[in-house]
Structure 1
C-alpha cells in the first residue's frame, strides 16, 4: 500500500490566492459583483475538497483491505486512521451545518447553499455565529483548536506541520486585537453570506487536506514497521535444557529470519530430517549431558543455497524432588503446617503437589499449607512436574501426623514471657490474664486459655484455691495479690486451654510465683 505524499498543486495555490484577493476586495467595500466572485471561489474550493475527500476515502478503503489480510501488522495504524476520520468528519460536518444555517437565516427555510439569493446579507452570519446565548462562533473556535492540536500530534514532518498549523490557525492579527475583537467577531461580524459560506468551505478544505496528510503518514508507517533483514543465522529453541529421564526433549530449529514461502532443509547427524513445524523431538532414555548439532540450508533470492550450522546442549536428569517442612520434621493435625516443595531444574510454576489424608493448599511459588485430617495417620505428598505439558510424578514423601504438644502457661510482662520464679509485686498487679503458647524455638503457636485457678496458702498452711474469670484474674484473685507480703508464694495451676487444632486440654504443670 505505497501511497506517496503530493505537494500542493498549482490549482490549489491559485484557489488560495483568489480567496485572499477577494477577502481583501471585500474589506475595501467593493460592488456586489465581487460577491459573485466568492461563489466562484466557493465552488472551486468545494471541488478541491471533494477531490481530497475521494482520495482520503480511497486510502481508508486500502486500510480496510490491509486490515483483513494482515490485521496484526495493520491494526495499530488502522485504529489511528479511524480516529482521524472520526475527528475530521466531526469538524467538517459542523462547518457544513453552519453554512446551511447561515444561508437559511438569509434566504429563509428553503435556502440553498448552492444557490444563495441574498449573498450580501450582513446580518445572517452575525446572528448565527455571534447572537448572545445562541451564537455558535465560540463553539467553532474551540472545535478548530481541538482538531488542530490533535491532528498535529500525528504529523512528524516539520514543513507539513507548519502548513497545517497555519491553515487551521485561530490567531488574530494585531489590528483585530487593537479593536478588542475576539476570533469569531473578527471572522463573522458584518460578514456577507457569500463570504461566510466561502470561509467555512475553506475550513472544510483545510480539514480534508490535514486529514490526507496524516493518512499518508500512517500509510508510510506500515512499511516502516517491516523488518529489513541483512543477516541469516540458525537457531535451536528447546522447550527446556534440563530434561527428566523418560520425558521428551523438544526443540524448534529455525533460520532467522524465516521465509514463509519456502521451508528450510534440516540435517542432524548428516541425515536430512523431515520435521513437523520444524520441531525436533526425541525420547530421552539415559541421564547425562547431550549436544544436538547439525546444519540448516535455504535458498536465497538468487537461488544460491545458504548453510548455517547449529548446536544446542541439554541435560537429562533422573526424576527427583524435594519436600521440606519449614518449621518441623513432622506434621501436626489441625494445624496449618508450612511446606516448601521444589524440583531441581524445574521452574516453580511447573511444579504441582497433592496430599493424601488431608488438604494441601498452595500459597505462593513452591509454598504450601498442609492440614492433616487425623492424628496418628500418616499422610503422603505427591509431587508432579508439568514441564512437558503432561503431569509426571517426580516423587512421593510420607509424613507422620502428631497432635500439637501441650503449651506452656505464662504471664505477659512487657515483651517478656514470665513462666515462674521471682516477680515484682507491681508487675504482678499490672498483669491481667494468663496466656499459653507452644514456644520451643521452632514453633510459636498461641492457645486460647479458657480457665485456671490460683492456689494460696494461709498462715496455717491450708491451700486456698481461687477460680479465674476465664483467661483473666478475678477480682477475688486480685484482692489476694494486694495482701501478699514479700517472698510469699502462690501457684497458677489447672490451666485449661484450646489450640488451633480444636483440642481442649488441661496443662499438667503449675506456675510458681514468688512475690518480690
Structure 2
C-alpha cells in the first residue's frame, strides 16, 4: 500500500536546499595540487603501460616467428597467446572508451584524455559509470571479474597469481560493504575526473601486466628462453618509475642470460660502478624526468668482451597526498568516521598518518577511523611517507567538526521503515515500538530511543497523551491501538533519543499514523 507523505513546508524546503548546496561546496573542496598530482601519476602510468605493451608485442612477434619455424610444436601455445591478446585488448579498450566518455562528459565532445580541462568535475564519472541507463560501472565490474578468472587459469606461478588477483580485485573493504555501496559506487561515486581517469589507466596497466605474465609462462612452455640465451640484452629494473622528491630511486641493472660464474662490469656516466647485488641507488633531490644510461660488459665462452647499452627513464614528483572522508567531506564528533589516505607513488603500507583533536585508528591499508572529540573545533590530519625507512612529512589536511544531525524516527515493518501515513492495523499490532536513525542516503547511523509520547483523540476531540518510557509501546498504548477503527489516526511525538556521540536530543519530527 502506498504511503501518503505529508506536504513539505517552505521552511523545510529551504533547509533541504541549503543542505544540498553545502554538500556540493564540501564535495568541491579538492585542491589544485592534488588534481595536478593525479595528472602526473596518469602520465607515469601511461608511459609504464606503453613500455609493457611494447614488450608484449615483442613476445607476440616471437610467437609468430616460432609458429612459422615449428608450427607443430608451437601451435597450441600460439592459439593460447592469441586468446590472451583478444581478452586483454577487449578489457583495455573498454577502459579506454570509459576514460574518453568521462572526459567528454566533463569537457564536451572535443574533450581530450591527455589534456583534461575540468579535472575537478565530480559529476562526469557519476553520469558515465553510475547512471542506471548506461550501466557502464556494472559492465566494467563484470568485465574485470571475467578477465581475472580466465587469466589466472593460465598462470602457474603462485606468487604471480596472488599479485594479479590483488591488482584486479573487486572485493570491497569491510567499511564500504557496511555503507551499502557496490564496487562501482565505491570506486567512482563523486570522483573527480582526474582521479577517475587515473583509476582506469591503472586498470589498463594491470591488464597489460597480467597479459605479460601469461605470455612469459607460455613462452617458457615452448622453450623460447633457450632461443634467447644467445641474444644478450641489458635491462634496468626499477622499484618504481615515479618517485617522491627526497625518496630513493632504486633499480636493478642486469644482463639477460648472465653467467653465474662471473659478474658483469657496470658503467654509468663512463665510470665503473661497484654495486651491491647489481642494485643502483641515488637520493632524488629535484623533480622532473630523468634517464639512467650506461652499459654492461662481460665475457662470453670464447673470452670475447660483449657490451650492451642500457637506458631507463624515471620521474621524480613533489610530495603530495590524498585524504578523503569516505562518507562526505566533514567529520562528526564522537562518531567513527571512515577515512581513506594515500600518497601517489607510495605503497599504502608505507603511508602513516596522525590527527590532532581526536584519535585516528588504522583499520587496513590506506583505511582509518577518525574520532574527533569536540564539536566546532577543527582537526588536522598529518600524512607521512615511510618509503625510505624514516617518516617524511608529505602534507596536512584540516577538517571541520560537526555534531551528528538529528535522526528520523520510524517503525520497522520487516525490512521497510514506516515514517508516516497509512499503516495496516495488523502491521501496527505486530511491532513492539519505534526506532530512530540517520538515513539520508549518505549516512545510516542508528540511535537509541529513550522515550516518546503517543497522542490519541477521543470522540469529543480531546487529546489523550500516553507516555512510553523507552522505545517500546506500553500495554496501555497497545490496548488503545486494538480499539482504533479504520481511518482513525494518532501521533507519536516528543521523541527523545541518544546517538553514538552520547548526546541526548529531543527530535523535532512527529509521526502521524492512520489506521487502515
Q: Could you state the TM-score of these two structures normalised by the residue count of structure 1?
A: 0.52
Between the aligned partners of 2:301 and 2:425, the Cα distance in structure 1 is 98
Q: Deviations over 1:153-180 (max 9, x none)?
A: xxxxxxxxxxxxxxxxxxxxxxxxxxxx
SS in 2 for 1:406: coil
| Map of 1:492 onto structure 2 | 492
- Taking structure 1 as reference, are residues 364 and 375 closer, same or farther at Cα in structure 2, changes over 3 Å only? same
Counterparts of 1:234 and 1:390 in 2: how far apart (Å)? 33
Secondary structure of the 2:387 match is: coil
Residue 350, structure 1, aligned to residue 350, structure 2: yes
**Counterpart-to-counterpart distance in 1, 2:260 and 2:247:** 31
Q: Distance in 1 between matches of 2:271 and 2:491?
A: 88
Q: 1:266 aligned to 2:266?
A: yes
Query: Which residue number corresponds to residue 216 of structure 1?
Result: none
Structure-2 separation of matches of 1:365 and 1:377: 28
Aligned counterparts, 1:20-169, within 5 A: none
Aligned to 2:217: none
Once the two structures are overlaid, the 10-residue window that deviates more, 325-334 or 299-308, is: 299-308
Give the drift of 1:259: 6.1
Q: Which residue of 1 aligns with 2:420?
A: 420
Aligned to 1:241: 241
Residues 223-250 of structure 1 show CA distances to partners (whole Å, capped at 9, x for unaligned) of: xxxx9x7665433232321101232212
**1:401 is the counterpart of 2:401:** yes
Q: Matches of 2:326 and 2:255 in 1, distance apart? A: 48
Distance in 2 separating the partners of 1:230 and 1:389: 40
1:291 aligns with 2:291: yes
In the alignment, structure 1 residue 341 sits paired with structure 2 residue 341? yes
- Which residue in 1 is equivalent to 2:367? 367
Counterpart residue number, 2:305: 305
Question: Distance in 1 between the 2:298 and 2:417 partners?
Answer: 78
Mapping of residues 250-265 of structure 1, within 5 Å: 250-256=250-256, 263-265=263-265
Where do residues 494-509 of structure 1 align in structure 2 (5 Å cutoff)? 494-509=494-509
Aligned equivalents of 1:470 and 1:322: distance in 2? 44
Distance across 1 between alignment mates of 2:470 and 2:478: 14
Specify the SS of the correspondent of 1:428.
helix
> How far apart, in 1, do the equivalents of 2:265 and 2:313 lie?
21
Q: Residue in 1 aligned with 2:45?
A: none
Bigger drift between 242-251 and 327-336 goes to 242-251
TM-score between the two structures when normalised by the length of structure 2: 0.52
- Structure 1 440/270 Cα, relative in aligned 2: closer, same or farther at 3 Å? same
- 3-state DSSP of counterpart to 2:429: helix
CA distance in 2, matches of 1:376, 1:450: 26
The structure with the larger Rg is 1
| Number of aligned positions between the proteins | 290
Q: Is the 8 A contact 2:385 2:392 kept in 1?
A: yes
Indicate whether 1:381 and 2:378 are aligned: no
**Matched-pair contact (CA < 8 Å) for 2:245–2:319:** yes
1:476-513 per-residue CA deviation (whole Å, 9 max, x = no partner) reads 00111122233333211111211111222221222122
The gaps in structure 2 that reach 5 residues or longer are 1-225
Give the deviation of 1:456 after TM superposition: 1.5
Q: List alignment gaps of at least 5 residues for structure 1.
A: 1-226
C-alpha separation in 1, matches of 2:255 and 2:401 = 56
What displacement does 1:409 show? 0.7
1:347 Cα offset (Å): 2.3
What do residues 340-391 of structure 1 show as CA deviations (whole Å, max 9, x unaligned)? 2222222222222222222222222222221222222222222222233333
The residue correspondences of 1:176-215 to structure 2 (distance < 5 A) are: none
Greater CA drift, 283-292 or 309-318: 283-292
Q: Aligned pair 1:482/2:506, yes or no?
A: no
Correspondence for 2:467: 467
